[in-house]
Chain A
Amino acid sequence: MTVHLLAEGLACSVGQRVILRDVELDIAEGETVGIVGPNGCGKSTLLRILAGIRAPSAGRVLLDGVPLHRLGARRRARKVALVGQEQDLPSDLLAGELVALGLTPYRSPWSGGGSHERAAVAAALAEVDLADHVDRPVDRLSGGERRRVLLARGLVQETPLLLLDEPTNHLDVRHQLHLMHLVRRLDRTVVVALHDLALATTTCDRVLVLHEGRALSLAPPREALTPDVVNAVFGVDATPIRHPVTGDTHLLITPLRPEDMP
């Protein structure tokens, strides 16, 4: 259950302000692609366009050759799931009920949950390590548990393309790695916006760096995130270092000195 994602000449602007221009993407089936960039570079906007819930002002998105923005809402929702940054959830909702919302594209708007739905919800919650939280109100969950419940909501939607907006926010380091490991293992095409460059480097097949609305080339992490790029985009110095245990190359960020501060 994967899909080939092709985006051609995507652009987006609000009034005079250009948010994205000329974004080209060619993502293979089953690939996990990370999007990194400083705050306000257009990551969330790009994800919303790829999810089909915001129309680009130019360009198009093709899923296995089918134009995404021409699909009806319901059919689209069976192809793409977006797990956003929703912060305030209805507090009386139970975690299981929230996850079951992911089945909305597969049922009529008036029907409730049947027993096969409960099984799907339980499976998705088990995948994110929260099997025993089905009956817990979402307002009693910690920030990290909440992120994982939201991810389970995306998983249960059973879409070949999964878009994640900062899924590791609020997660402790073990759950960050666990979540990214889980995402990689999925038999789906995944596009994930990340803040953590080290996490992007170690867990994504390829990385797209967004800078002031423009996309640098989509490349394997070590080619995409060179010290020069990190310096130009994020304004910090980075040094590639070999990890003494794993042998992988990591970027070591140099702390800002007082004279670098504005």
Chain B
Amino acid sequence: MVTGTPQGRHRLRTPLALFLVTLALLASLVLSTAFGAESLSPATVLDVLVGRVTGGPAADLAYDTIVWQLRVPRALLAALVGAGLALAGAGMQTLVRNPLADPYLLGVSSGASVGATAVITSGLFAGAGALALSGGALVGALGAAVLVFVVATAQGGLTPLRLVLTGTVLGSAFSAIASYLVFRSPDPAAAQSVLFWLLGSLAGADWHQLAMPAITVGAVAAALLAGSGWLDALATGSDTAASLGVPVRAVRITLFVLLAILVGVLVAVSGGIGFVGLVVPHAARLLVGARHRVLLPASALCGALFLLWVDVVTRILVRPTEIPLSVVSGLVGAPAFLVLLGRRRYRFGGNG
């Protein structure tokens, strides 16, 4: 089903591509819950899910707990975070007009790591547990975003190059602060917990954790889609966009704020997960092209699918321990995408 123009347009027809990825995602959501420290057969999983959804006779209680209380919320969280990171990556690449941009470009993740590290090393909120960690990360992330915004605006506006430079420089500064906090911490285990948090994890996901990322990802996705035509114009350059009647300044500021909130919430929930936001948007462009109207949904679906399976691998590769998500997303993802991208002499969204 490749459209057959003589120019060799190797895109799937867009609705078909979106349909297939959605189908794969739904199937994966069910299948992935079979994997973990305890392997279950797909039939058992289906029993539990059917029982839960239809309100029929409950399946074996142990299986019910594993599938419904542990793995389903975790699979949903993985899909949400993956979708959110891919959306954020696509948005960021448009905002700074740079194919190498990833969701953490604005210093948001380093800011979050300062917040999280402060919580871990100070031990101030030890009683509050994971909630304090997420809270610290969120505060740090949003604080960093505000700082990048203020500095970039004061120095002449949210132009792509200025954002990249300001975000990168302030990001390094935040990383340094986080390192310093670890260094002077008396607790020898602090370094390890900080490292583990930075590399991302979905362990301990439960149903209550889903609401905030679900609302954020949903709201930001809706807002980005509502402005997809303007984002297309912005991606071709600010003069062109302005001459097409797009309020460039307002769109950039809105995009910045949306991305900062989205990435801040995602980092707070799952730590820093590398690679997804950088490369999934490129894979989605290969699939459906560069128009945001289809690129954004395709990115979100591919990101969800990708992180879902990455999370499965983290659970089963070194049983019964779990490895951090970034380790797997990097190890599995990089070679796979190099092959995928190299095959078409793909030019990474920019003018190679």
Contact = CB atoms under 8 A, between A and B. Distances in A.
Interface of A: 48, 51, 53, 73-78, 80-82, 84, 86-94, 97-98, 101-102, 104-105, 107-112, 133, 135-137, 139-140, 153, 157
Of B235, B245, B347, B348, the most chain A CB neighbours within 10 A belong to B245
Interface string B225-248: 111111011011101101111110
A91 B239 contact: no
Of B229, B237, B246, the most chain A CB neighbours within 10 A belong to B229
- Which secondary structure characterizes the binding site on chain B? loop
Contacts of B350: 88, 90-91
Interface residues of B, number: 36
Contacts of B243: 51, 53, 77, 80-82, 84
A92 B285 contact: yes
B351 A87 contact: yes
Contacts of B135: none
A104 B248 CA distance: 13
B190 interface: no
Contacts of A112: 229, 291, 293
Given A97-B290, A101-B236, 10 more contacts: A88-B97, A88-B237, A90-B350, A94-B9, A101-B240, A104-B229, A104-B230, A109-B246, A110-B227, A140-B7
A91 B346 CA distance: 9
A91 B243 CA distance: 21
The 10 residue pairs across chains A and B that have the minimum distance between CB atoms: A77-B245, A88-B351, A53-B242, A92-B290, A82-B243, A105-B245, A104-B244, A74-B245, A109-B229, A135-B5
A108 B246 CA distance: 11
Contact of A73 (B242, B348, B349): B242
A139 B289 contact: no
A136 B285 contact: no
Of B244, B289, B348, the most chain A CB neighbours within 10 A belong to B244
A139 B352 contact: yes
B230 A109 contact: yes
A104 B239 contact: no
A112 B227 CA distance: 11
Contacts of A104: 229-230, 232-233, 244-246
A136 B242 CA distance: 25
B153 interface: no
Contacts of A76: 245
B321 to A, nearest CB: 40
B227 A73 contact: no
A157 B229 CA distance: 15
Nearest to B244: A104
Nearest to A72: B245
Contact of B239 (A77, A82, A92, A109): A82
Contact of B233 (A101, A133, A137): A101
B13 to A, nearest CB: 12
Contact of A109 (B226, B236, B240): B226
Given A91-B350, A92-B285, A101 B293 contact: no
A216 B229 CA distance: 41
B65 interface: no
A110 B226 contact: yes
